[in-house]
Amino acid sequence: MDIEQKQAELIDQFVKQASALGGSALASVVADATSHPSLFAFSEILAVPSVLELEGKENSVYLDVLRLFAHGTWSDFKRNAGRLPQLTAEQVLKLKQLTVLTLAETNKVLPYDQLMQELDVTNVRELEDFLINECMYAVQFAAGRDLRPGQLGTMIQTLSNWLATSDNLLVSIQDKIKWADNVSELDKKHKKDVEDRVEEVKKSLSLKADIDFRGHEEIYSEPGGVMDYEEDRSRPKR
């Protein structure tokens, strides 16, 4: 199954479950969604009315957990661990994966020191095992995170800049194509001129050879022409 399609089906599944429940009954839905190994987007679940109704109530902690997995990082969890439920091993793994995604959003190069600090990892081997086994890069599909509040404007600006760069690149490519076409036409014209010149030279040489041949033919064809010359050469001089 296509990864994006699987994501969409999982989101739809959890949205339906959350829509049918309320209050403390949402705990299992939140736990299942935030620990599922193939789910990385939670905005749709956050938008479910029954989930939003948790705001300010005794079960609001489940809403906080969803927001943590939608927008937060492992460091955010550590800062707020006192008021959040204990995370399972699957949830810890998922949140650390999401943390790497967040760091990669704004950094092309991620130093090991920064990753070890953000992921609460104590040695390089543990970090490399996590990155190799639990995070995938240079693949056909990359997971993205939910937009954080206030992030939409930045994303629009980023996409606008990308579009402008793409337009400029397209114009540059079109200019180079035109230049290549012009050069190609000039090459064709030059080739034709050379070929025409070669043909002219061939015709000129052929005509000259024909004239020379005819001249010699006329000399040899005159009655007694060559014989008289040979006889003159053989007569003794007086």
Q: What is the mean pLDDT of residues 199-203?
A: 81
Q: Is the pLDDT of residue 222 over 60?
A: no
Q: Which residue has the higher pLDDT, 56 or 1?
A: 56
What pLDDT digit, counting tens, does each position of 171-187 carry? 889 888 988 888 888 88
- At 194 the pLDDT is 87
Q: DSSP string of 131-195?
A: HHHH---SSS----PPPPTT-HHHHHHHHHHHHHHHHHHHHHHHHHHHHHHHHHHHHHHHHHHHH
Q: What is the mean pLDDT of residues 178-205?
A: 84
**Cα–Cα distance for residue pair 100/131, rounded to 1 Å:** 9
Q: Is the pLDDT of residue 147 over 50?
A: yes
**Cα–Cα distance for residue pair 29/75, rounded to 1 Å:** 24
Cβ contacts of residue 68 below 8 Å, gap of 6+? Answer: 76, 77, 80, 84, 95
Q: Which residue has the higher pLDDT, 100 or 200?
A: 100
- At 139 the pLDDT is 42
pTM for the whole structure: 0.60
Among 88-92, 136-140, 213-217, the minimum mean pLDDT is found in 136-140
Q: What secondary structure letter does DSSP report for 83?
A: G
Q: Which residue has the higher pLDDT, 128 or 223?
A: 128
Q: Sorting pLDDT into bands at 50, 70 and 90, what band is 64?
A: very high
